[in-house]
Structure 1
């Protein structure tokens, strides 16, 4: 077995919660709470409804889907969960990976733990850390060795396979095959195609989760798939050399708004100008957004549905000017299909900055110039998205996000229980209590 892959397999099966620094365990708690908040919000989307119906038809089993109750197998559970989370573009991510891990990993952990899970919350968090460390390094390796920009499912599939292999006790050889299958069958979708033509396929994380769990199924049955070259190729050995010592999960970012992260720096620039100059949206005559090339591709000006709306930078800026924030409800056609919103959308124009292009993907910059009816030109400083790993959203902001996004399907008591995972106030829920929170009709 290749040395890098032997190290990965030993890490996957050997990591214990007591091995994790407190900051790493706490970051896993943040990822879990934030992902649950997005999961609840995603339940209101057509994407989620279609994915859950599909899972029931094609992947029947004995696991009840969260907030739904219908029974599916682990593959269907992971697929439908990831599709639901991916339907609201507000989940955590990793800047250098240009994508997302928890969206696929959290449903996979819950799918593999089953309806009556053993262990405690720290065990769940440790499984989640394993998935993150494998997925993020797989992403960095993929980006370093291929020219195309692939969607998250291409690499979070390996994190899902790692979690499933760990929980099933597949051993080193079985784990190596599971990772190899997940990489080979992973959805290497061209991400910019979905940026140019937004749709329900999003970041392919639903298929990443499906692929990762299916890969473990196949490996468990003796199907072979090694090697995973994103783990084993000599040219990526350095990326894997610090596995178990450098905790990549600590580089996670969190979103202040449920839109593509590339559209968030101009939103922050607009909100700063509004606060500093008491801008009234009715007085704006032109909005110049200067940013990096990829963000200018978020160019839809008349999105017809929520999926397209989340990838529309002109709409994001218009919503920020109109509402001084962006919430999931704002991205529903019934909320944004208004003359005053379209007027602002049509005032948005783009410019690219060589400096901002050079900084991407490790950082996303934008600045905004507002031309006003009275002749003023209000120019922002360069802005970044709030919630980057080096300037994180506070735990209280993630709890507020849970409250904003979770009201429709989580009781006050359930939200308080989930929030206690972060707050340190009331005792955090047991693993079984957490599962019960996700099945309110059954509890």
Structure 2
């Protein structure tokens, strides 16, 4: 622990936005914009509506903003609500080595504390990057292929570090906050509800992770102690040794579609086939998809909720084939009961391919085979997924995704204003300029 403690202290005390690569700063802005779009898209979902009802219990005239709601609430609960909304469509970012969707946790936590403390845009960006660097490393040492904790476990450490930075805690206090987070981070065993094929709205415990991160920082600020132990072995310490040199924030992926990332691989393979072959949904006899062993659990052909649909390869593939695209417009109750989509979904067979497992998390291999009633057979394989580090979304695509996700709440000019504010965050003297843009779209 002592070696890791010394390294973390050195990283925190020498961390300044002006000293880090511009590419890292840009990646932080991309992450903030992407997460903000996901939060806005989550406002009008059943989960978002439930969170707005819940938020009335925590009204605080000195509190902070929940997107889509006029009355402020406590920062602790605002972070929880915004974080869950960020994951409502499952369109938020990810990081393979740590298995975390850290942006949807760390950014809502940092945003709540930044609003509370009236931080500068520069301080907010610094906190976000610190949160990602420590959160991703926590995820890398706590989650394995065999023990899949979900995003909440590792990201809580990052949320605590980001919150502590914005609260002005010393480096020792931030480590203490991370030690407290170690005791109260949500420990969600992800594969349990995937295998049960009943996906909860609060999947991966993300909102509570954001809230726990802030509370850990508050507790450390109040003199309560914790002990950080997760980096105790030499192997785990090696991840901390790279702090400030290898920025994990630069190794993340962004989703061009909503839904579990494991559904995107066959989706994009199918799109390749559709671009090359004229495939009429009514002519399909059978579609066979070979994928990772654990991804093969995502085989429900008739999901009953939006969350179930996000974890259903047959639904995602069928909706893409019928509608020609897959976005928030396909994640609706109407689409869940669309007879054309359901008819195709029932013709989709998911097969586990254990030989693909050894390439994960570096690559996600898959194969899609389509057989038509006319006897035609089309097949394609892929291992690159749009949005991954080796096949990234451009800045324009990230901005277009934000506009696309926020279109039900923002006019084009409003969306562009938020994009501009986020792209110039380091120049903003007060984060509340950005917050004011969020508040302008509220109607609740």
TM-score, normalised relative to structure 1: 0.94
Q: Does 1:110 align with 2:117?
A: no
* Aligned-partner SS, 1:229: coil
- Which 10-residue stretch deviates more, 257-266 or 299-308? 299-308
**1:402/1:236 Cα in 2 relative to 1: closer, same or farther (>3 Å)?**
same
Q: How does 1:294-443 map to 2 (within 5 A)?
A: 294-420=294-420, 431-441=431-441
**1:207/1:198 Cα in 2 relative to 1: closer, same or farther (>3 Å)?**
same
Q: Partner of 1:189 in structure 2?
A: 188
Shift of residue 277 of structure 1?
0.7
Q: Partner of 1:213 in structure 2?
A: 214
Q: Does 1:139 align with 2:139?
A: yes
* Aligned-partner SS, 1:62: strand
Moved over 4 A (4+): 58-61, 421-424, 427-430
Shift of residue 114 of structure 1?
1.5
**1:179/1:116 Cα in 2 relative to 1: closer, same or farther (>3 Å)?**
closer
Q: State the alpha-carbon separation in 2 of the partners of residues 82 and 35 from structure 1.
A: 9
Alignment gaps of 5+ in structure 1:
none
Shift of residue 390 of structure 1?
1.5
Q: How does 1:16-415 map to 2 (within 5 A)?
A: 16-58=16-58, 60=60, 62-114=63-115, 117-120=118-121, 122-143=122-143, 147-196=146-195, 197-226=198-227, 228-415=228-415
Counting matched residue pairs gives: 438
Shift of residue 262 of structure 1?
0.5
RMSD: 2.2
Deviations 1:287-319 (A, max 9, x none): 100111111111222211111111111101101
- Are 2:153 and 2:186, in contact at CA under 8 Å, matched by a contact in 1? yes
Shift of residue 421 of structure 1?
5.7
Shift of residue 54 of structure 1?
2.4
Q: State the alpha-carbon separation in 1 of the partners of residues 118 and 110 from structure 2.
A: 10
Deviations 1:257-308 (A, max 9, x none): 1010001110011111111012121211101001111111112222111111
- Are 1:292 and 1:353, in contact at CA under 8 Å, matched by a contact in 2? yes
* Aligned-partner SS, 2:225: coil
**1:422/1:160 Cα in 2 relative to 1: closer, same or farther (>3 Å)?**
closer
- Are 1:300 and 1:313, in contact at CA under 8 Å, matched by a contact in 2? yes
Alignment gaps of 5+ in structure 2:
none
Q: State the alpha-carbon separation in 2 of the partners of residues 101 and 56 from structure 1.
A: 27
**1:45/1:441 Cα in 2 relative to 1: closer, same or farther (>3 Å)?**
closer
Shift of residue 413 of structure 1?
2.1
Deviations 1:20-75 (A, max 9, x none): 10110111111111111111111111112222332331474521322212221111
Shift of residue 232 of structure 1?
4.0
TM-score, normalised relative to structure 2: 0.93
Deviations 1:314-373 (A, max 9, x none): 101101111222111211111231111111110010222233111122221211000012
Shift of residue 431 of structure 1?
3.5
* Aligned-partner SS, 1:285: strand
Q: State the alpha-carbon separation in 1 of the partners of residues 423 and 110 from structure 2.
A: 22
Q: State the alpha-carbon separation in 2 of the partners of residues 392 and 235 from structure 1.
A: 29
**1:382/1:412 Cα in 2 relative to 1: closer, same or farther (>3 Å)?**
closer
